[in-house]
Amino acid sequence: MAQQNSVALTGTYENRVAQLLRAARHQARLAQTGAGPRMWDAHTELDHILEDQIVAIANALEDDKSDAELAGTWLD
C-alpha cells in the first residue's frame, strides 16, 4: 500500500517554494533506496538540481534584501 504524505506550507510565496523544493529533494533521496542503477542516477541528478535551486532562491533573497537596504527600502 502506498504511503500518503502531506506538506503544510507557511510563510511567503518564496518560502513556500523553498519548502516544496526541500520536500521534493527529500523524496528524491528516499526514492534512491532500493532503486535500480538508472533510477538511482536519475534521482541523484534530481537531488543535485533541487539543491542548486534551493541555494539559488536563498542567494536571490539575500541579494534582494541587500539591494533593498542599500536603496533604503525594506522587504518583508
Q: In this structure, are residues 75 and 66 in contact, taking their beta carbons and an 8 Å threshold?
A: no
CA dihedral 44, 26, 75, 65 (to 10 degrees): -40
Q: In this structure, are residues 28 and 46 in contact, taking their beta carbons and an 8 Å threshold?
A: yes
* Assigned domain for 4 exists: no
* Assigned domain for 20 exists: yes
* Assigned domain for 33 exists: yes
* Assigned domain for 44 exists: yes
Parent domain of 36: 13-71
**Number of H helices and number of E strands within the chain?**
2, 0
Return the pLDDT at 73.
Answer: 77
* Assigned domain for 7 exists: no
* Assigned domain for 8 exists: no
Number of structural domains in the chain: 1
Return the pLDDT at 48.
Answer: 96
Please, what is the Cα angle at 20 between 69 and 66, to 5 degrees? 10
Q: In this structure, are residues 54 and 23 in contact, taking their beta carbons and an 8 Å threshold?
A: no
* Assigned domain for 6 exists: no
Please report, in tens digits, the pLDDT of each residue of the chain (76 residues total).
Answer: 567 778 889 999 989 999 999 999 999 999 999 899 999 999 999 999 999 999 999 999 999 989 988 888 766 5
